[in-house]
Structure 1
């Protein structure tokens, strides 16, 4: 479904009203930097203003205190604390080329301009689910005119935060140390506002969707974790990542990966050795692989300079 931002004027609720409404839905919320906030030359209007993993709450007094202090703050929802799975269906930024991937068949149905909702619909139909019923849940249109679909997630099941279709279909729930978070209706980023598209009851997560996003068994452990193609011993780097504190986890992983690249270890070996310790300290697979890619790119550029 292709969406447009509304052009007709509507009565605009204050951000604190949106925050209270979210809390009344039993969403555990926290303040996020306001739309267009720039820090160190980059936009941070999706970044929390507090230690959200612990701070997210439904306590109205705390919420009022936060938004009186910062009336234009965006509203973040902790999916883990709220017992939610939120499926983020993004829109295409360019024609997506899935040829040679397990999702190539999606192009056969929808052509080159595939968006996240196309993907989710195609997957649901492929497993025999009723797409119309699947969509009958609370939905929020995002600033980029994608859509968030909200479902109740069974807390006893651990979810992955890996993208079912990278770049188009993401999930936020209880994966990782604190789970994931999304912006609530009423928020706005530089791309546009987040608006409730369907204020429906949040339905239980369909079984097929649980199976799609639940945490998969980790790959078999490497029997000799220090065997690799380079000459170094990486136990110290592995321990550095394993002992990293929150706020330093990405930096520690980035530094360790650059050291391994400089030592001659392949990116594949680096991912094999650093993924487990990075998971232990709470990074998602998406964050881990992205950080390692960035580290190898930076180190390679340094070598070539």
Structure 2
């Protein structure tokens, strides 16, 4: 119990509200845990006196955190797939930032970041790519020092918690919850699609350093949602728009082509509703 209580105190000492899980497991032992998660020593003592083998879990939203959960697929019966670390590097075009990091028992990593002030982020599953989930508002992670039947959660990088990089903020920002039906006439349908494509081209060209690859990915996704645009038209326009960033070294040729292809594929699975009238 001493080790778990030290983990509780260390986590709450960082200012992160915690709550107990079922002993030795990940399931919350407290109803309405996000509301009741706390850093108050008296409340924590009461909880852990009742169940000394409970793990401390961090309520990420209450803590002002976004935690990237990078899985090792080989430890989950998916050999041959990329580790979440590699996927993150491929998506962002750079190594993961040095921030407070916890290694999970199954060789995964929890990367802790401070949440942005500009947008409220919630949990996500594979939004950034395979083997990457995120925990933010509405989510929690087991703290360093927790123990499950698979093993112990250990601090891997003990450093300050960095801000969530802008390109990840942009990539994790959810789209508007409901699409309006776009109604166009036969005569204006082509003009609507050209204007939409031109708008995405401008967004790519105007993207700030640090957001350029994410901007390209999101533009490809939005254009992929428009059934009237062919893949070839999207690829041609986005390649041309991205050339200045390629020249600046924002991403490689392979990274650019992968971002465009992944974005279009995502959009094709989520087509917008466009009604053409005569």
Under TM normalisation by the shorter chain, which class is it?
0.5 to 0.7
Find out whether 1:67 has 2:30 as its counterpart: no
Residue equivalent to 1:157: 119
Deviation at 1:67, TM superposition (A): 1.2
What residue in structure 1 maps to residue 62 of structure 2?
81
Question: Per the alignment, in what secondary structure is the counterpart of residue 27 of structure 1?
Answer: coil
Aligned to 1:189, which of 142, 145, 148? 148
**Any residues of structure 2 matched to 1:285-296 within 5 Å, and which?**
none
Q: Is the 8 A contact 1:140 1:197 kept in 2?
A: yes
Deviation of the 1:46 alpha carbon: 1.0
Q: 2:139 matched to which residue of 1?
A: 180
Alignment correspondent of 1:49: 29
Q: Counterpart in 2 of 1:17? A: 6
> Following TM superposition, by how much is the alpha carbon of 1:64 offset from its aligned partner in structure 2, in angstroms?
1.6
Cα offset, 1:149, TM superposition: 0.1
Q: TM-score, normalised on structure 2?
A: 0.60
Q: Would you say the 8 A contact 1:141–1:196 is kept in 2? A: yes
Cα distance, 1:13 vs structure 2? 5.2
Distance in 2 of aligned mates of 1:79 and 1:198: 18
Q: Distance in 2 between matches of 1:66 and 1:167?
A: 36
Q: Give CA-to-partner distance per residue, 1:224-274, whole Å, 9 cap, x none.
A: xxxxxxxxxxxxxxxxxxxxxxxxxxxxxxxxxxxxxxxxxxxxxxxxxxx
Q: How do 1:226-305 and structure 2 match up within 5 A?
A: none
What do the CA deviations read for 1:80-126 (whole angstroms, capped 9, x no partner)? 11000000001113447xxxxxxxxxxxxxxx43111111111121x
Task: Please state if 1:168 is matched with 2:148.
Answer: no
SS at 1:72 equivalent: coil
Structure 1 runs of 4+ aligned residues shifted over 3 Å read none
Q: Distance in 1 between matches of 2:130 and 2:26?
A: 17
* Structure 2 residue ranges without an equivalent (≥5): 183-278
152-161 or 190-199, which deviates more: 152-161
The answer to whether the 8 Å contact 2:88/2:128 transfers is no
* Match status 1:32 vs 2:12: no
Structure 1 residues 221 and 160, CA gap change in structure 2 (3 angstroms): farther
TM-score w.r.t. length of structure 1:
0.55
Deviation at 1:151, TM superposition (A): 0.2
Q: 1:180/1:222 Cα in 2 relative to 1: closer, same or farther (>3 Å)? A: farther
CA shift, 1:155, in A, is: 4.0
SS at 1:67 equivalent: helix
Root-mean-square deviation (CA, aligned residues, Å) is: 2.1
Q: 1:19 to 1:81 in 2, by over 3 A?
A: same
Give the direction of change, closer, same or farther, for the CA distance of 1:146–1:217 in structure 2 (3 Å limit).
same
Q: Tell me, which stretches of 5 or more residues in structure 1 are unaligned?
A: 1-11, 36-44, 97-111, 224-305
Cα displacement (A) at 1:183: 0.5
What CA distance in whole angstroms lies between the structure 2 residues aligned with 1:165 and 1:192?
27
